[in-house]
Amino acid sequence: MIHQYKLNGYNIVLDVFSGSIHVVDDFAYDAIKIWDEEGKEKAAEILQSKYADNTEITEEDIKNIMSDIDELVKDKKLFTDDIFEVNAFDLKERHTEIKALCLHVAHTCNLSCSYCFAKQGNFCGEEAIMSAETAKAALDFLIKNSGERHNLEVDFFGGEPLLNWEVVKETVNYARSIEKQYNKNFRFTLTTNGVNIDDDVIEFSNKEMQNVVLSLDGRKEVHDRFRKTPAGKGSYDIIVPKFKKFVEKRGDRDYYMRGTFTAYNTDFLEDILHMADLGFTEISMEPVVTAPGQPEGLTEEDLPVLFEQYEKLALEMLKRKKENHPFTFYHYMIDLTGGPCIYKRISGCGAGTEYLAVTPWGDLYPCHQFVNDPEYKMGNIYDGITNTKARDEFKLCNSYARPECRDCWARLYCSGGCSANAYHATGSIKGVYEYGCRLFKKRIECAIMMKIAEMM
Amino acid sequence: MKRIKTIETRNMAKSLQNGGCGECQTSCQSACKTSCGVANQKCEKAEK
């Protein structure tokens, strides 16, 4: 299977199963398309006849193009067969140890953002704070179920985790006190709305957190539309100075400014550039995921605008890189030579198998987006996974599990997509959130084009 | 090749033999929390 597209003056051909990428001229682009549709022999005839009167290309040129394509086929870089499908389900079975937990240390929040999937932090349930005992027991559970994995990830999440900051610190210190004896390396992430950031949070996080995710939606008016205090006041002016200080003191350590865009700011490029102009260089901006019919929800009519925004973003990033003031966009980071292996490309995020969310009470869910859905309660940190039906369903959830993905060129980039999005859009974790797919494919096309532009 | 330039990419077939250590980051943990992309994940196996 191949995928061909034209972007920013480049003719790009992706060979899906080898992962190969080719940049070609117009004639080779056409030849590959016809070869794909009609087969080798017929393609040669069609091309000779089609270009017989074209002075820009000779018969010899066409023969050379066909010979080059032949060489790529022989080298298994074009029109390669899918050698992975037969093993797809075995591949997913291979590792079922748990390696990552999303610790919901606070099911409460000091902001009241109306678009919040966690319903202002309580996930449609009781407000609650995780005790240090529960958090430590969650780490014990992780170590016990992590097999030979060395790197273990824990994200302090909520609600707002800084509302339970002392427990966060105690949990990290506990992890550091036991990781050597179990030959583990804990990597912590803190996801915060920023309201309670102070010097202690900055100092501790910059020492202990491998990554911090800081929620900012962009321009003040955009941010303040949704991200309000319980009294209804926008939070932009409270948090931006704190984020600036946090990032400034962070040095080279990882962070992301993480925004959400909605139907109210389909010109989200302006919000990304606003963050870049504030001095933030690591940026992630996600499309809102809402129930159908919500005013902030993105619609079919928005898609052409969003596609254009993604293209303009790619061009602006190339320009700023050339001018020596680059910034990173999470979805345009793509490592073509050192990126994920086929196992990762097939198995994806690992929700419900390698990755679990833990509530303040120690209950386990497949990921943060399933929390408090009784059907998907997996068990708890004391008794382990007891809902084996749900676990087995997630075990088989990979890039080959969905019939809709069968003919999709992007399935080894998205690994089948987000199960939670699929569930909320279709009622099944094996469904497909088609809207998200279309945005995802556009982003991958842009990301690959940027790599090519940087190399050529 | 005059009209086709191939960009260097990781050999997927080879990674079937030498991949799968599982030490890489969980994709959703890093920044998005609402999507699932693996293309931007780094491979953490020392020898590929």
**Searching chain B, which residue's CA lies closest to the CA of residue A414?**
B37
Q: Which amino acid is at A425?
A: A
How far B10 CA lies from chain A's nearest CA (Å)? 4
Whether B6 and A77 lie within 8 Å, measured CB to CB? yes
Nearest to A340 among B2, B3, B43 (CB): B43
Determine contact, residues A5/A310, Cβ cutoff 8 Å.
no
Residue B29, pLDDT > 80, answer no
The alpha carbon of residue B44 is apart from the nearest alpha carbon of chain A, in Å, by 9
CB contact under 8 A, B40 and A421: no
pLDDT tens digit at each of 456 positions of chain A: 999 999 999 999 999 999 999 999 999 999 999 999 999 999 999 999 999 999 999 999 999 999 999 999 999 999 999 998 887 766 656 567 899 999 999 999 999 988 888 877 888 888 999 999 999 999 999 999 999 999 999 999 999 999 999 999 999 999 999 999 999 999 999 999 999 999 999 999 999 999 999 999 999 999 999 999 999 999 999 999 999 999 999 999 999 999 999 999 999 999 999 999 999 999 999 999 888 888 999 999 999 999 999 999 999 999 999 999 999 999 999 989 888 888 888 888 889 999 999 999 999 999 999 999 999 999 999 999 999 899 888 888 888 888 889 899 999 998 888 899 899 889 999 899 999 999 999 999 999 999 999 998
Query: How far is residue A180's CA from residue A223's CA, in Å, rounded to a whole number?
Result: 42
Question: In chain A, what residues touch B42 (CB-CB under 8 Å)?
Answer: 335, 338-340
pTM of the model: 0.94
- CA-based nearest distance A330→chain B, Å: 7
Q: Considering CB atoms only, which of A77, A341, A421 is closest to B20?
A: A341
What pLDDT, in 10s, does the model give residues A337-350?
888 888 888 888 88
| B48–A339 CB contact, under 8 Å | no
ipTM: 0.91
Please report which residue ranges of A51-123 form alpha helices under DSSP H.
59-74, 88-94
Q: Where are the alpha helices (DSSP H) in A323-433?
A: 342-347, 388-395, 411-414, 419-426
d(CA A68, CA A18) in angstroms, rounded, equals 17
Distance, CA of A216 to CA of A260 (rounded, Å): 8
Reference A272, options A256, A295, A294; nearest CA is A256
List Cβ neighbours of B33 (8 Å cut-off, separation of 6 or more): A191, A213, A258, A286, A368
Instruction: Give the Cα separation of A415 and B38 in Å (integer).
Output: 7
Q: What is the distance in angstroms between the Cα of A229 and the nearest Cα belonging to chain B? A: 22
The structure tokens 């030579």 sit at A337
User: Residue A194: left if φ>0, alpha if ψ -120 to 50, beta else—which one?
Assistant: left
Closest-CA distance of chain A to residue B4, Å: 4
Nearest CA in chain A to B27: A349
Residue type, B16: L
Tally the residues of chain B.
48
The number of CA neighbours under 13 Å toward the Cβ of A147 is 13
State the smallest CA–CA distance between residue A200 and chain B in angstroms.
Answer: 23
Q: Which whole-number Å values give the CA distances from B37 to A13, A333, A392, in the listed order?
A: 20, 10, 22
CB contact under 8 A, A24 and B20: no
Q: Are A220 and A270 in contact (CB under 8 A)?
A: no
Best mutation target, A256, A344, A402, to test chain B (most B CBs within 10 A) = A344
Q: Do A343 and B4 touch (CB under 8 A)?
A: no
Beta bridge partners of A435: none
Provide DSSP, A155-209: EEEES-GGGGHHHHHHHHHHHHHHTTTTT-EEEEEEEE-STT--HHHHHHHHHHE
Cα Rg of chain A, angstroms = 24
Between chains, do B28 and A349 touch, taking CB under 8 Å as contact?
Answer: yes
**Residue in this structure with the two tokens 């993480």, named with its chain if needed:** A258
In terms of DSSP bridges, do strands A21-24 and B4-7 run parallel, antiparallel, or are they unpaired? Answer: antiparallel
**Cβ separation of A355 and B29 shorter than 8 Å?**
yes
Nearest CA in chain B to A67: B1
Chain A positions in Cβ-Cβ contact with residue B16 (cut-off 8 Å): 83-84, 87, 341-343
B1 shares contact with chain A (CB less than 8 Å): yes
- The pLDDT score that the predictor gives to residue A62 is 95
B38 interface with A at CB cutoff 8 Å: yes
Mutate which of B21, B35, B41, B47 to test chain A, going by most A C-beta atoms within 10 A?
B35
Task: State how far the Cα of A138 lies from the Cα of A217, in Å rounded to an integer.
Answer: 32
CB pairs under 8 A between A and B: 215
